[in-house]
Amino acid sequence: MRQLISTLLLSALLFSQENSVQQDTVSQAIDIESQPIDSLSQSPGQQDAEINTNDSAQPEPVNQILSSVPLGLDSGYKGFAWGSPSSSAISTIFSPIANKDTASTDQSFTGMLGLDSVIVKYTFADSGFWKAEIDFVINENVVENLVSKFRRLEKNISQVYGPPKTTKQQESGPSIAYSDIFDQKYATAFYRSKWAIAPAVVELYFNASILQPSSDLPIFSDSYKVLKLVYYNPDYMHSSQPVPEPENLPSIFDIY
């Protein structure tokens, strides 16, 4: 009886060892199949060298990253930095305008700003570039249309920089039906909105005085109308030019 029990225990032990060997073989085969083909074809030394190479890769220099990022108003206008000297070349899609004033350091350009024809003037002080002044070309004499144009520009700017910090509006004038050749009336309008985007300031300005209604025989020849958009940095508003001394004018009886 003891021999029979010993035989059964020995058989069970041998069977369990055989199953263990088979499981280890299968698990090794699975591990090998799960490895990438490239890693299998490389020696351990080659794999270590590849890891060291990846670790030594250098990131892109910060100055190269920054050079691809457009400058905002905190740095300049349309990529042209505040404080740049007047001799600096300005990168713009607008066409340059010859400067007839040889004493002036301003640089002017013309082109389309969205829907509007404009003239852009870059102004320089002793501290360098401090202001970009945009004049909108106005070809009409209807105050209501010009006010609508101002409001359109104000809305567009507000979508970029938020609502204006301050606004001023004043408008007056006769009815369009009014007509008196000897007492000509003018429709006037003054609108001004200001955005503070530290350190820069943006101002939209409209001022007009237009004969209402128009006449072939105006007493004053030209109507006055101006629509400007100005970007400037107060930190660069420095000038060493001396204040001119007041002139000694002749008597008003001699002048008039």
pLDDT at 241 over 60: yes
194 neighbors 211 (Cβ within 8 angstroms): no
How does DSSP classify residue 154? H
pLDDT at 163 over 70: yes
pLDDT at 178 (0 to 100): 62
**Average per-residue pLDDT in the chain?**
77
In whole angstroms, what is the distance from residue 193 CA to residue 205 CA? 7
Q: Could you tell me which residues come within 8 angstroms of residue 240 by beta carbon, excluding any fewer than 6 positions away?
A: 126
- Tens digits of per-residue pLDDT, 224-234? 999 999 999 99
Identify the CA nearest to 75 among candidates 249, 200, 238: 200
pLDDT at 123 (0 to 100): 96
Residue 15 tokens read as: 């069977």
pLDDT at 245 over 60: yes
In whole angstroms, what is the distance from residue 220 CA to residue 200 CA? 39
pTM summary value: 0.67
pLDDT at 212 (0 to 100): 80
DSSP per residue over 115-132, as a string?
A: TEEEEEEEEEETTEEEEE
pLDDT at 96 (0 to 100): 95
Task: Using alpha carbons only, give the angle 66, 70, 72 rounded to the nearest 5 degrees.
Answer: 110
Q: Which residue has the higher pLDDT, 201 or 183?
A: 201
In whole angstroms, what is the distance from residue 30 CA to residue 28 CA? 5
